Amino acid sequence: MLEIQKSVLTKAIKLLNSIKVEYAILADGEKYGTLEVAGKKRTVGKRAFAFKYGRNAVLNYVKPYIDNLEVGEIIQIPLGEYDLDAIAATSASHAHKVFGTGGHTSRKDKKNNTFSIMRLEV
């Protein structure tokens, strides 16, 4: 860490201490503050789905649901043989590619094991 960064960190810690809040700062392998920090969540990379289900298997499953979606239309994609994270990640990625930034909104429904997408007007 550069000296200027250490200086800013020291000031930030003094400010947080002065307002008596709990905090945790992780910097250069050191932890500052009293707040307990949970471990980082393991993220699943794009390729993990390819290894688990076969190349483009999830994409080929979700494409028909997404490709002809009209503005204002909502679809629910059932999980089928895939897990919710695979459906959600692949669907959101494909919808972004097809509709562009801000062209859709989506939600996972863990209770009903579906993934919903609504196309928005951009």
pLDDT in tens, 73-115: 999 999 989 989 899 999 999 999 999 999 999 999 888 888 9
* Same domain (yes/no): 24, 51: no
> Would you say the pTM of this structure is higher than 0.95?
no
* Same domain (yes/no): 56, 15: no
Percentage, residues of the chain above pLDDT 70: 89
Instruction: State the pLDDT at residue 59.
Output: 92
Looking at every residue in the chain, the average pLDDT score rounds to 87
Q: Which domain holds residue 7?
A: 3-32
Token pair for residue 10? Answer: 């020291």
CB 96 within 8 A of CB 103: yes
Instruction: State the pLDDT at residue 67.
Output: 94
* Same domain (yes/no): 73, 28: no
Tell me if 37 is assigned to some domain. Answer: no
Instruction: State the pLDDT at residue 110.
Output: 87
* Same domain (yes/no): 13, 70: no
Tell me if 95 is assigned to some domain. Answer: yes
